[in-house]
Amino acid sequence: MYRKLLKSKIHRAVVTGTELDYEGSITVDSNLLKQAGIKEFEFVQVVNVATGARFETYTLAGEPDSGIIELNGAAARLCYQGDRIIIMSHVLVSEPLPEIWHPTIVLVNDQNQVKEKQC
């Protein structure tokens, strides 16, 4: 049996833009992806802190240190520029689970730059 556990998250990132006429995904500053251990094209769950909307999409790597967090395609209808979101990646872990499990948590400032990383 496998359990789905939180692998990592980027906590309270600020949406910098939306692009409705796009195939779909979320573009994230590649440095933030690296710090969180999230790969380009990895599926993630996104939660809009303001509305509670939750959706799943895949990541695209944005320019490093740009602070970009842009929702593309249908996801662009679920958030507005300036909204705070949480981006979470998951992993399947086989039983028995490790006694100690620590997801990577990346806290960002208002410009989506890393202010703290917890492992």
Give the three-state DSSP class for 16.
coil
22 noted as active-site residue:
no
CA atoms in the 13 A half-sphere facing the CB of 20: 5
Q: In angstroms, what CA-CA distances link 38 with 8, 28, 34, 67? A: 7, 10, 6, 16
58 noted as active-site residue:
yes
pLDDT at 119: 87
pLDDT at 103: 97
Going by DSSP bridges, is the β-strand pair 114-118/104-108 parallel, antiparallel, or unpaired? antiparallel
What are residue 29's DSSP bridge partners?
62
Q: Which domain holds residue 47?
A: 2-118
pLDDT above 80 (res 24): no
pLDDT at 69: 98
Q: Place 22 in a pLDDT band, splitting at 50, 70 and 90.
A: confident
Give me the amino acid identity at 92: L
Average pLDDT, the chain: 96
Identified catalytic residue from 2, 8, 30, 58: 58
Candidates 14, 5, 4; CA nearest to 48 is 14
Candidates 109, 108, 107, 105; CA nearest to 119 is 105
Tally of structural domains, the chain = 1
pTM over 0.85: yes
Identified catalytic residue from 2, 22, 25, 94: 25
CATH (domain of 49): 2.40.40.20
Tell me the pLDDT tens digit for each residue of 62-89: 999 999 999 999 999 999 999 999 999 9
Are 89 and 76 within 8 A, CB to CB?
A: no
